């Protein structure tokens, strides 16, 4: 086979792979902008005849066709829960990651292993006892209850990533700063923290995506507009016998957009985070 045929083949294969990766999501998003009749049409209408914002109007309760799904409240809950839990997980993660990267202490390996293992507990398995305990404490269907769970869910991974990043920074830098007149605290904030920023950012994105997208726990710990998040809200569209495809597609668009925007802004950090934390950690 000549080099040219080879390269043509690899181009074609690459193109098909990219198509498989992008088509399903794009098709769903596109459908969010199509009227329901067109989606359901038989035989299928391939080229959209008409693009419309009706589906969005409907789920936000604007215009004639209204759907009794409080998407706005879900959206607000999702934002509050995801950002708050991410912020806390990052603070806890910096603190813990720093401890693992910089100190030697008894039970270090055991503690690290314990934290990581806590992350392996499947959400649905964890949801059962948390559900019972939260119910007793009155935390079911509260934003607080879900935030707490998401912080715990994210802490092991943020610690793992941030630990890896702090380890990249030579210990001598903080020592030099201390000799230069810094307290340990100053040395951390002026030298080590700025250098670990990109790692912390990537840990933050992962934490945010996890909280934003989580379903197994949220679906069992939330009940109403008090705390229901977007992924849980998506299932509202599935009524007993019918599925509102158009509405769901519009909702999917709403869920994916913030995650997409955020990820594209910091994608460099994401890849660095994934590789760094792991290989050298």
Partner 1 sequence: MSVLTNIKRKMFSEQATPYVLLLPAVIMILIVVLFPLIFSLYTSFTGYKLTRPDTLFKIVGFRNYVRIFSDWDFWVAFFRTVGFLAVVINLEFLLGLGIALLINKVTWGQRTMRTIMMFPMMFSPILVGFQFKFIFNDNVGILNNALQALGITDAAIPWLVDGWLAMGAIAFAEIWMSTSIFAILLLAGLFAMPKDPLEAAQVDGCNAWQTFRHITLPFLMPFAYIAMTIRSLDVARAYDVVDTMTGGGPAGRTELLWTLIARTGYDSANMGMANAMAYVSIILSIAFTYYFFSKLVAARRYMGGAQ
Partner 2 sequence: MTEVSLQQVVKRYGQLEVVHAIDLEIRHSEFVVLVGPSGCGKSTTLRMIAGLEEISDGKIVIGDRVVNKLPPRDRNISMVFQNYALYPHMTVRDNLGFGLKIAKHSDSEINKRVEEAAEILGLGMLMDRLPAELSGGQRQRVAMGRAIVRNPDVFLFDEPLSNLDAKLRVQMRTEIKKLHKRVNNTIIYVTHDQVEAMTLADRIVIMRDGHIEQVGTPLEVFDHPVNTFVASFIGSPPMNQLDGKVIAGEGGENQIALADNITIPVPNRAKAHVQVGQYVIVGIRPDDLTPKNHGMKDSGETVSFDLTVSISEPLGTETILFSQIGTKEVQGKMLNPRPIEGDERLNFNLSLDRVHVFDASTGQNVLGPHHG
225 exposure class (CB count in 10 Å sphere: 0-12, 13-18, 19+): middle
Beta bridge partners, 238, equal 243
**What is the closest distance, in whole angstroms, from the C-beta atom of residue 280 to partner 2 in the complex?**
17
**What is the number of other CB atoms lying within 10 angstroms of the CB of residue 271?**
11
**What is the closest distance, in whole angstroms, from the C-beta atom of residue 28 to partner 1 in the complex?**
5
Q: List the single partner that 271 binds among partner 2, partner 1, none, CB under 5 to 8 Å by kind.
A: partner 1
Cα–Cα distances in angstroms (integers) from residue 208 to residues 117, 177, 262, in the given order: 21, 33, 9
Q: Which stretch binds partner 2 (CB under 8 A): 144-152, 178-186, 212-220, 255-263?
A: 178-186
In this structure, what are the phi and psi dihedrals at residue 243, rounded to the nearest 5 degrees? -120, 130
**What is the closest distance, in whole angstroms, from the C-beta atom of residue 133 to partner 1 in the complex?**
5
Task: Using CB under 8 A, pick the residue from 55, 77, 143, 220 that binds partner 1.
Answer: 220
Q: List the single partner that 180 binds among partner 2, partner 1, none, CB under 5 to 8 Å by kind.
A: partner 2
Using the minimum distance from each CB to partner 1, give the nearer residue, 70 or 145. Answer: 145
Q: List the single partner that 137 binds among partner 1, partner 2, none, CB under 5 to 8 Å by kind.
A: none
Q: Does 106 bind partner 2 (CB under 8 A)?
A: no
Tokens coding 109: 């390996």
Cα–Cα distance, 253 to 265 (Å, whole number)? 18
Q: Which stretch binds partner 2 (CB under 8 A): 15-23, 151-159, 189-197, 264-272?
A: 189-197
Q: Which residues contact 54 (CB under 8 A, 6 or more apart)?
A: 35, 63, 65
Q: List the single partner that 260 binds among partner 1, partner 2, none, CB under 5 to 8 Å by kind.
A: partner 1
Tokens coding 195: 């250098």
Q: In 111-237, at which residue ranges do the beta strands (DSSP E only) sit?
A: none
Q: Does 46 bind partner 1 (CB under 8 A)?
A: yes
Task: Using CB under 8 A, pick the residue from 67, 81, 159, 200 that binds partner 1.
Answer: 159
Tokens coding 152: 């715990």
Q: Which residues bind partner 2 (CB under 8 A)?
A: 170, 172-173, 175-184, 186, 190-191, 194-195
């Amino acid at each position: 086979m000549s080099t040219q045929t080879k390269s043509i083949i690899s181009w074609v294969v690459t193109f098909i792979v990219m198509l498989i990766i992008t088509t399903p999501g794009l098709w769903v998003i596109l459908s969010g902008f199509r009227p329901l009749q067109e989606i359901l049409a038989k035989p299928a209408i391939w080229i959209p005849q008409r693009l419309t914002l009706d589906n969005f109007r409907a789920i936000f309760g604007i215009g004639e066709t209204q759907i009794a799904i409080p998407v706005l409240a879900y959206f607000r809950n999702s934002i509050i829960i995801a950002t708050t839990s991410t912020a806390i997980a990052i603070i806890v993660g910096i603190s813990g990651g720093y401890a693992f990267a910089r100190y030697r202490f008894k039970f270090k390996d055991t503690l690290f292993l314990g934290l990581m293992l806590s992350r392996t507990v499947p959400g649905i398995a964890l949801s059962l006892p948390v559900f019972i305990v939260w119910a007793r404490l009155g935390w079911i269907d509260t934003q607080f209850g879900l935030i707490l769970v998401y912080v715990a869910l994210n802490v092991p991974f943020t610690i793992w990533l941030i630990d890896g990043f702090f380890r990249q920074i030579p210990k001598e830098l903080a020592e030099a700063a201390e000799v230069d007149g810094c307290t340990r605290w100053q040395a951390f904030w002026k030298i080590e923290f700025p250098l670990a920023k990109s790692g912390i950012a990537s840990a933050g994105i992962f934490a945010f995506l996890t909280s934003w997208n989580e379903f197994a726990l949220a679906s069992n710990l939330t009940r109403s507009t008090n705390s229901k998040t977007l992924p849980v809200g998506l299932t509202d569209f599935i009524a007993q016998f019918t599925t509102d495809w158009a509405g769901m597609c519009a909702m999917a668009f709403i869920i994916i957009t913030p995650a997409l925007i955020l990820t594209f802004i910091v994608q460099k950090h994401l890849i660095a985070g994934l590789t760094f934390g792991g290989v050298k950690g």
